[in-house]
Amino acid sequence: MKKYVIKYRVLLEEADPLENKEIKIANCMSGVHAQIRLEDYLKKKYINFKKLIVIECKEDYDLNNIFSQFGDIFGGNLDSKKFFGGI
């Protein structure tokens, strides 16, 4: 499962739109899956929800997570901060 960062805006009935919103959604199979989960959440949160407009949806890459997965594969515990000198 992957984590996605979605930049979006929300159109509401009889209200000003919500602009420049951003959220991270974890445990998704794809970007489309993340967007569907976000829309379902917004429908529950805003009774006057009308439409979700996705501006950008990209996978969130966490270096610590990537290196911990390599550590799991190779039987070690890699720390990206030590590996890259404190990044």
CB-CB contact of 38 with 52 (8 Å): yes
The pairing of beta strand 49-59 with beta strand 2-12: antiparallel
Q: What are the angstrom distances between the C-alpha of 43 and each of 26, 46, 74, 79?
A: 19, 6, 43, 40
pTM, two decimals, is 0.70
Give the largest CA-CA distance in the chain.
57
What structural domains and CATH numbers belong to the chain? 2-83 (3.10.20)
Q: Report the chain's mean pLDDT, rounded to a whole number.
A: 84
Q: What is the mean pLDDT of residues 55-69?
A: 76
Is the pLDDT at 9 greater than 60? The verdict is yes
